[in-house]
Amino acid sequence: MKQWEVVIGIETHAQLSTQAKIFSGSSTAFGSAPNVQANAVDIALPGVLPVLNKGAVVCAIRFGLAVGAEIARHSVFARKNYFYPDLPKGYQISQYEWPVVLGGQLAIQVGESEKTVSLTRAHLEEDAGKSLHEGLGPHFRECSGIDLNRAGTPLLEIVTEPDMRSSAEAVAYARALHALVRWIGICDGNMQEGSFRCDANVSVRPVGQPHFGTRREIKNLNSFRFMQQAIDYEVQWQIATLEDGGSIEQATVLFDPVSGETRAMRSKEDAHDYRYFPDPDLLPLAIDRSWVEQIRAQLPELPTAKRERLIADYGLSAYDARVLTSSLELVGYYEATVATAGQANAKSCANWVMVDLAARLNKEDREIGESPVSAEQLGGLIARIGDGTISTNIARKVFDFLWNGEGSSADEIIARQGLQQISDSSSLEMLLDELLAANPAMVAEFRAGKEKAFNALIGQVMKATRGQANPQRVSDLLRKKLG
């Protein structure tokens, strides 16, 4: 049976975090009533002229630096000509031959394997409007509406080489890119609002064939789960078509999450179909090297460097470092927690942030920035575990108090509730003597080699002290008494 190789490239539109549009002063805020944020420039009234938003250029440079790309000294805006109802000009201002960012690469993690995806380019462009087919009212059931609020919103289109060989790799790349644009502060990454959407170019070829197969582009994937489903379906469809003797025609397709299938939308255009030419209303973009270096100095520590430092400074595993650097906010919370708890408790801090805190946030559908427990409060709690003031089980009770706003700090809650751990040997020995005298059968079972009896005795101690006895101290003293 013929073996097939999957080839995938991704084009991503990241909406840039500027307050104004790329060529006008209109707001980019999401959720306004239709067409209230579209001015004369956005709708291309006669005589208007576009003016480039400097903030959008800064975002593009930040991205290029973050992926190790070349920042073009000169780039040119072009008119990309095509007709679509939500494109008021009849063309889109984009970049074609001379983009602002050239090359670059992004490391991705797929299971235990790391792979580097090469980037072709990243270019600035304006978004189109939005066609509305529902919710227009009872008198317009057979009509479609056009909302031009989004027209002119600044986008950075990020294009990869066809380097990915599975849907898992494609999703890993999309996740890594999503995390990066949020990390460097150029895009809020809100996929539901369309701030981050991907197009997947998918083709298959027999293993060993040097040239690529015919690709089909899956448009507007705004969910990682849908991306994986769409690519998997498209791959199987293309393979089945070829094995049945058919051929693949280049096309743009949409994914239907209800049916789980892709369906053709239109034949795929090539670059010459758009009749690109330099926009006569916009001067070439000149970027001075000193400006690039100023922007470089303002970048945060990037994820790869941050991971390496977490491993070196805090002794974390590569896995822990990767999870904690999934967002700038999360790793910032972690490091603030360690700053309070002390570096000796760095691993314990990682566990609490990744497990206990993450579980509670997920349960209540909150982001890390919405945590009711501050990093300083969590660090103070972990410090009390570290110095033996409380056990881990008691710490979880204290965490509940903090989460519910029933205390300002772990120390205050521990003192108020009387939760200090009992570690005093004389008190514990007295309790153990009473326990052993009251449970001769358990003692006999342990001495007969049944380890479960030992654990049962410890359970009796913890029950008698309401969980406040130091478990390790109890275990040590109990073994000593039992010989």
C-alpha 310/C-alpha 78 separation (Å) is 44
- Highest mean pLDDT, choosing among 265-274, 411-420, 436-445: 411-420
Domain ranges of the chain: 13-199+265-291, 301-417, 425-482
- 424: confidence class by pLDDT, cuts 50, 70, 90: low
Do 92 and 126 contact (CB within 8 A), yes or no?
yes
pLDDT of res. 436: 77
pLDDT in tens, 194-204: 999 999 999 99
- Model pLDDT for residues 116-172, shown as the tens digit of each residue: 999 999 999 999 998 887 777 777 777 888 899 999 999 999 999 999 999 999 999
Whether pLDDT at 183 is above 80: yes
- The least confident of 69-73, 136-140, 235-239, 373-377 is 136-140
The three-state (H, E, C) secondary structure of 165-183, written as one string: CCHHHHHHHHHHHHHHHHH
152 neighbors 127 (Cβ within 8 angstroms): yes
This prediction's pTM: 0.85
- If one compares 465 and 209, the residue with the highest pLDDT of the two is 209
If one counts every other C-beta atom within 10 angstroms of the C-beta of residue 269, the result is 13
pLDDT recorded at residue 427: 66
| pLDDT-derived band at 285, boundaries 50, 70, 90 | very high
430 or 360, which is more confident: 360
- Can you name the CATH fold of 425-482? Arc Repressor Mutant, subunit A (1.10.10)
pLDDT tens across 235-272, in order? 999 999 999 999 999 999 999 999 999 998 877 666 67
Q: Could you tell me where the beta strands, DSSP code E, fall in 68-209?
A: 70-71, 74-75, 77-81, 91-95, 101-102, 105-110, 113-126, 130-132, 145-147, 154-160, 196-206
Place of tokens 């791959």: 235
Contact (Cβ atoms closer than 8 angstroms) between residue 86 and residue 138? no
Question: At 266, which helix (H) or strand (E)?
Answer: strand 261-267
